[in-house]
Amino acid sequence: MSPAELFALPFMQRALIAALLTGLAAPAIGTFLVQRRLALMGDGIGHVAVTGVAIGLVTNTSPTWAAVVVAVLGAVLIETIRERGQTNGDVALALLFYGGLAGGILVSGIDGQSASSLNRYLFGSLTTISAGDVIVTMVLSVAVIGLSVGLAPQLFAVAQDQEFARVAGLQVRAYNLLVAVLAAVSVTVAMRTVGLLLVSALMVVPVATSQQLTRSFRTTIGAAMVLGAFASVGGLVLATFASYKATVAPGPTIVLLALACYVVAWPIGIWTRHRARLREPFAEGQIPLHESCEEHPHAHGPGCGHLAVPHDDHVDYVHDGHRHAEHGAHYDEH
């Protein structure tokens, strides 16, 4: 069978649509998790979702919808523990992850046949996606993409500086919960593509790659979505061609392709940051390299908590690995 004939088959077309949508949705919400240094939250939700899938399989209801419900409950619980927790927050999360995974395997084992079905969700199974699954994937991923991109300024402000966002009148708690719920939904959407055990990779790796190459928040989220879509569709196509010779699963291929993009972007990122440092910081008409003021809610000043570096006639502040100074209505990167 030629590649053209293969990709004309309905099951391959369903797989391509699902791969494209999850590749766009997972990094869109993943950007805010990375921003808040919660890169492994998707992984935790993925473990909790295993129990949801198992309940769906055993009760003969939809594993996808059962996973959505359990993952959203798990995400709200994780967010509540994170918000309240002080020292033992990570231990509480770990207990939840292991409980989710062990519970799922236990529940699915009660019904002997579903243990192998559970594998499809743990490691992904793009090519067995039904027409109904594709419609659910479409609805849920469009919701995730729409809310992540549409509410990006508010979600960014909350992720960047909770205190400032609260003072500015944003409903910090509501936005944090929204991020947790959208992360849970995108975990369940992506579980058929890359599997629950690798789901976090699709939410985090394209974002990390994008951060190597972009500076402003808007370009980071946009480039992360392009990279996620490229890795998902490209990984599926690669795995399909490789399957002429051997059994190659799309899920791991997608994740390895996303990691390969990171490996390529890493030296480019080092080089462009080096070039940027060599530039004249106050050159005429130069576009500011750091975020402009509406994207930089933290006001630097004496005692603001960031390292102050006196520099010529002004003071620079070291912040998130950047060294910059306020200049008119924006910040200049040094």
Contact positions toward Zn ion, by CB under 5 A? 311, 316, 319, 325, 327, 332
The residue with tokens 């394209």 is 206
**Which tokens go with 209?**
């790659």
Question: Which CB, 5 or 312, lies closer to Zn ion?
Answer: 312
Question: Which CB, 5 or 280, lies closer to Zn ion?
Answer: 280
In three-state secondary structure terms, 304 is coil
CB 157 within 8 A of CB 297: yes
Q: At closest approach, how far in Å is the CB of 176 from Zn ion?
A: 22
Question: Which CB, 207 or 325, lies closer to Zn ion?
Answer: 325
Q: At closest approach, how far in Å is the CB of 148 from Zn ion?
A: 24
DSSP assignment letter at 286? P
308: β partners: 317
Q: How far apart are CA 72 and CA 77, in angstroms?
A: 9
Sequence letter at residue 325: A
Q: At closest approach, how far in Å is the CB of 292 from Zn ion?
A: 10
In three-state secondary structure terms, 296 is coil
Q: At closest approach, how far in Å is the CB of 218 from Zn ion?
A: 17
Question: Which CB, 146 or 301, lies closer to Zn ion?
Answer: 301
Q: At closest approach, how far in Å is the CB of 324 from Zn ion?
A: 6
Q: At closest approach, how far in Å is the CB of 281 from Zn ion?
A: 6
Q: Which bin fits 234, alpha (ψ -120 to 50), beta or left (φ > 0)? A: alpha
**Which tokens go with 322?**
């950047």
Half-sphere exposure of 313 (CA within 13 A, CB side): 2
Question: Which CB, 273 or 319, lies closer to Zn ion?
Answer: 319
Question: Which CB, 5 or 284, lies closer to Zn ion?
Answer: 284
**Which tokens go with 91?**
């231990």
309: β partners: 316
